[in-house]
Amino acid sequence: MVTRREFLKGSAVAALGAGGLASAQSVGAGAAGAKAAAGAATNLPASVPAKAAAGAAAKAVAGAWDAHVAIPASVPWRRFEVEAALYAWDLHDEGVEQVLDNVQGMAAVNSVYIIGLMHPERRPETSATFPHNPVRPFWVAEDARANWFFDPKRYGRIKPRASDFAWLADTDWTRVFVDAARKRGLRVGFEFSHSLVDKQRVEGEFADLANRNIHGEITHVRDWLRPVCPNHKDTREYAVAAYTEVVEKYQVDWVESAMVLMDEAVGGSPARGGGCFCAACKQAAPGFGVDLEKIQAALLKDPAAQPELAQWLQFRYDSVDAFYKMLHAAVHKAKPGIVLRYNMHAKNPRDWGVDIVQLKPQLDALRIQDYSEQTGQAAAMEGKRTWLTEERRSLGPEFNVVSGVAVRPRATPELIRQGVGIAVETKMNGIMLGFYDGADFANLRAIREGLAGAGLHPSD
């Protein structure tokens, strides 16, 4: 296998320095932690079952699944999708074949995707330790590190940033993942998560790309997130280069964007942090029919001033729409028939500069990031039903929509089965499991049970 260092050998690109997380973690999150985690795994045979155990689990299904076995491993996009999102550290620590055995055997997964560019976050997100990782008790994801082998010559001013850890940087985890999944006939996708460029570089050499708030400051609604402006030519060039490289090189079936392009304007107000008033936006504004300088001056006096507030909000929607129109054309040129999917990561997308109905023509599919199951509260499930129903109504019956279903701690098998049922009843095109790395295996099995309970069979 070609290593990352060999791949970059001879390149004129200088190695990027270690990020702030490098000193906070190691391959095993500390020898003692790794030893404890490995010991726990050996004492819990259900945690990381052998291939034979996974095969037995695939047969040991309740009710209707005994007769119908499972949803086929490869299905057209219009068929019901059962997706698992995976990370490079899942594949490294548990082994790609073991991970795929688990999600297929336990949860009837027919589709998988790798989150190949992740935002900084402690994993597992909702519990103290991984329930079935034999190497480390937890991991702190680095900020916007590429888990694919990128060609620096493909990029302009902004280039992807490799991991600071050799065990992540020196292996093309996207290639490992795609090849293993393809051998099983699984559909394969790739996600770019919230941070397109890491905070360190956005606050440093790429500060001109940063979202700017009404006072001209780099937006800082969340400490870890520094969105880059969708109207800046370098942001647009970088996004096209990264997305098309992944699509062309790995021939994935879909590419998903969870990118934050406009920082959250809390409550729809510029007084509470949202972008963008940067130089690139001011230059682009006349093309959208507005004068951003005048809008900014009015909103500085009164953040609720009309019609300036409405004009600013619409400018945000229009800017994001134009960005995705560009991106959609680029990925479809790279691979005709590719699916560009947007991850609706908040119930208030307009506060993030996204009018999903306006954006619909620039997309091929949508994922609704609803994880009501992990509240542990049955009452929360009606909120899930309402959200899915509203989005299906607003987007129409033909648009492809997938709903999240939480399999993490605090979610119970009963709530998971209910969540699967709600997704089917509200006419979703599929479900996405959030997330394997933190999932108890009983919760994974509840996905299969929920599918059976909803009457889904291979012919559906």
For every residue of 4-70, DSSP letters joined together read HHHHHTT-SPPPPPP-TTGGG--TTSSHHHHHHHHHHHHH-TTTS--HHHHHHHHH---THHHHH--
- Classify domain 26-453 by CATH number: 3.20.20.80
First to last CA, the chain: 40
Cα–Cα distance between 108 and 111 in angstroms, integer? 9
The pLDDT assigned to 73 comes to: 35
Cα–Cα distance between 365 and 51 in angstroms, integer? 34
Amino acid symbol at 331:
V
Estimate to the nearest angstrom the gap between the alpha carbon of 150 and the chain centroid.
Answer: 19
- With tokens 């729409």, the residue in question is 321
Two tokens, residue 88: 């490079």
Cα–Cα distance between 235 and 55 in angstroms, integer? 46
The pLDDT assigned to 125 comes to: 87
Segment holding 83, helix H or strand E: strand 81-86
Amino acid symbol at 268:
G
The pLDDT assigned to 68 comes to: 30
The pLDDT assigned to 32 comes to: 35
List, run by run, the mean pLDDT of 10-residue segments along the chain (460 residues).
40 31 36 36 34 37 31 48 96 97 96 96 91 95 96 98 97 98 97 97 98 97 96 98 98 97 96 94 98 98 98 98 98 97 95 97 97 96 97 96 95 97 96 96 96 74
The pLDDT assigned to 79 comes to: 79
The pLDDT assigned to 126 comes to: 86
